[in-house]
Every structure is written in C-alpha cells, then in structure tokens.
Structure 1
C-alpha cells in the first residue's frame, strides 16, 4: 500500500470536553465505557454462539458473522444492554439524581 492510498487515523480536533471537576475522572470513565462496549460486544457474540449451538450449527467465524438477528433476539439484546449499562452507570446516575433533587430543593 502506498502512502498516498493509506488512510490516516481520524483524530478529534479541539479541546476535549470534561464533565467532572477532575479530568482524571473523565479519563477513567472513558476507559470504563470503552471496556463496557467491548464486554457488550463479547456478550452479543457469545449469545450468537449459544443460539447457533441450540440450532446445532457449528459456530464457525462465517456462521457467527452471517447470523441473522430476529426482532425477538434484537429486543432481548437491547434489554440486556440497557440493564447492563444501568448497572455500570448506576453511581453516576444516582449522583445526577441527587444533584437534581438538591437543585430543586434549594
């Protein structure tokens, strides 16, 4: 591949937004969210393997990649992801709720 045709990685421009007083907290949160995404993808792939096994289909890379989601399976996965994210984000969600209560009471 020549240098002219090689794609450069995309890099965000501008300052990174920070949501917490300590930028380190934002960095740790970004790491946790990246790992959360990876675990979610792994769980979906495991679910695909389980569904293929239940149908007695060998879980080759091709069979896993060509697995077609039904609406039922997609809804099941969406529900699982939502519950998973709720557990991962519980502390932040509770803190936001507390801040909202304090702001409306004050």
Structure 2
C-alpha cells in the first residue's frame, strides 16, 4: 500500500479554520512561513549531521559535497519531492480554496442552529 503524500498533505479538518492575526491573509503567510522554517531546520540539522559523520569517517572529503552532480534519475526524484514539499507548505491556501468551493457552516453557525432547536 502506498501513501499519496500530495493527497495527505491536503487533508483538512471539518469546519472553519480559526484565525488569530489581523486578517486571514496574514495568518496564511505566517502559517506558510512557520511550515518552511520547521522544514528547513530539520533539513539543516540532518545535513550537518550527515556531513560531519561522513567527513569524520573519511568517506567524504569536506569539499566533495559542494562539487556533487546528481544523476538524471536523482534529479527526477528530487523534482517529485519538491512537488510534495510545496504541497505541504501551501496546504493552507489549498484548503481555503476548497472551503470556498464547498460551503461549510462555521462553528458559530452550528452552535446557533443547535441552540435554536
């Protein structure tokens, strides 16, 4: 069984997303920025650890990483991974667009309806 990472990145919870900043667009930009920051931090830590281990064990010279040229298949693999990465980062905008297509009641509207019944 394979997991469709693009589909999984786009899943969203039911109801309206709560926003806490001045406006919705500011909140979206902040969400994207924080997702990027978290992803980048993980990658930087892992890359630094791998490079240190490889140099320490004499498997890789300190300058070899900078001169590496990926193969065609590696470039294709990286392209797919980039698409999945962008889907995760831009998830909030995708979900908002889907929310516009399907009219959903906000949690406040649902509460009002329940109180009226």
TM-score normalised to the size of structure 2? 0.43
Greater relative contact order: 1 or 2 (C-alpha under 8 angstroms, separation 6 or more)? 2
